[in-house]
Structure 1
Amino acid sequence: MYTLKRSVDGEFDAVVDETIEALGAEGFGVLCDIDIRATFAEKLDEEFRNYRILGACNPPLAHDALAEEIELGALLPCNVVVYERDDGGVTVSAVDPERLIGVTDNPALDDVAAEVRERFERVLDSLADDAVQSTEA
């Protein structure tokens, strides 16, 4: 699998906001926010489920990685996706940085990839934890 993902209870826009906030708590800024539903409606006149792609970047980690592998910028920022499932629930999915950076075959990037993965896991776990707490309240 090339992503890390969690099912999250909650309203779609609220989950997007919580995801951005959780990323911020782990040192990631969202450099771009692509609304696929709106784009498909505007460009293709097609309906699509709620689907947002958040381009997340942690500047210190990106700096370390780019200092080691200048072409790595082609793989940045790391995408985090929030989408509405067919059953009406919401899933948050992040690229697995170890798989992504693994395509470089540069072992000097392993520590950065592991650090990003740990941070993404904490982001996803916090969203899942928040959802469980909100459904029990």
Structure 2
Amino acid sequence: MSNYAMKTILSGDLIEVRTRAVEALKAQGFGILSEIDVQKTLKEKLGLEYEPYLILGACNPNLARQALDTDRDIGLLLPCNVVLRQLEGEVEVSILDPEAMFSLTEEATRRQLEPLAQEARVRLSRALQTLEEAP
């Protein structure tokens, strides 16, 4: 497992888990700004077969504003990416760890963003926990 991802594996299909993930993120103040269907894109652009794979761009507007107020370049690291990948009868849900993401910034900026990164991590972890606890 990577040191920059928070993950869980859930029973079900990608579409059903996507709906649940969006609701769990919403309960933590995150909306979905973008969605990339990697399977469809690779098929259309390169003719490749790929498992169902979605990248959701999740954003908590208040946390994003605070990060941007600290460092306008932080927009290069936003939004928080959530990946849904279909496995056999299961879906892997991965979320980029905000603490790992912000570790790319300069030390002074990282210190300023640390509480914000921790809050985002807690909220995203709660979303994953909600998904794990759902029947």
TM over 0.5: yes
Superposed CA offset, 1:24-78 (max 9, x none): 1111110000000111111111110010000001000000011011110000011
- For 1:74 and 1:11, how far apart are their aligned partners in 2? 31
- For 1:39 and 1:88, how far apart are their aligned partners in 2? 23
- State which of 92, 111, 114 in structure 2 corresponds to 1:110: 114
Number of residues paired by the alignment? 130
Alpha-carbon distance, 1:89 to partner: 1.5
Which stretches in structure 2 are left out of the alignment for 5+ residues? none
Look up the equivalent residue of 2:82 and give its one-letter code.
V
Which stretches in structure 1 are left out of the alignment for 5+ residues? none
Does 2:129 match 1:128? Answer: no
Length-normalised TM-score, structure 2: 0.93
Length-normalised TM-score, structure 1: 0.92
- For 2:132 and 2:49, how far apart are their aligned partners in 1? 28
* Segments of 4+ moved more than 4 angstroms: none
Superposed CA offset, 1:85-129 (max 9, x none): 2x3311100000001001112200001100110011001011111
Provide the residue aligned with 1:53 in structure 2: 55
Identity %: 42
Provide the residue aligned with 2:100 in structure 1: 99
Is 2:13–2:86's contact at 8 Å kept on the other side of the alignment?
no
Provide the residue aligned with 1:7 in structure 2: 9
